[in-house]
Amino acid sequence: MSKSVRHVVYLGILFALAITLSWAESLIPPLPFLPPGVKLGLSNVVTMYCLFCIGWKEAFLIALLKGAFAFVTRGAIAGLLSSAGGILSVLALLLCIRLFKQRISYTALSVTGAICHNLGQLFVASFLVDTPLYLFYLPVLLLSGIFMGAITGLLLRTVLPFLQDISPDRMEVSP
């Protein structure tokens, strides 16, 4: 199998993992102490992995594919919210990586990504409804971004060795 084919197959596996994590997360009942709409964002672990270990183009591709999947399965608004959050999150992470190089942890990056994901979704929601009332939810989304981002950052650090074990660079090349 050629290197480019292995790369595409690997991205397909990662996309499948992202939507599986998103689906599995939707099975978890809302926790009584969490505000409406707040969730962990498990599939964002895959997007961050792509950005940190594969490349920025692949991270954008996964974010856009996740948005397209949300569009197909949950409708146009869900697709727009997912895409806006994912794209803004990847852009913010890219900026942090460029500015801070190796001086920033996965957890700090994940918190930044989670907050920006929430901000992207909030911006689109306020635009769609054409009212600034959604801005009153901003403190809730900022706090949840910090908390959930820290959890997903720790999760990324935990699963990183396993994801790297199945990377295409480690696959056997057959003649």
Q: What is the pLDDT along the chain (175 residues), one digit of tens a residue?
A: 678 888 899 999 999 999 999 888 888 887 787 787 788 889 999 999 999 889 999 999 999 999 999 999 999 999 999 999 999 999 999 999 999 877 888 899 999 999 999 999 998 988 888 877 777 888 999 999 999 999 999 999 998 888 777 776 654 444 4
What amino acid occupies position 129? Answer: V
- H-state helical runs in 51-172: 56-74, 76-100, 106-129, 138-165
Q: Give 22's contacts (C-beta < 8 A, 6+ positions apart).
A: 42, 43, 66, 69
pTM: 0.87
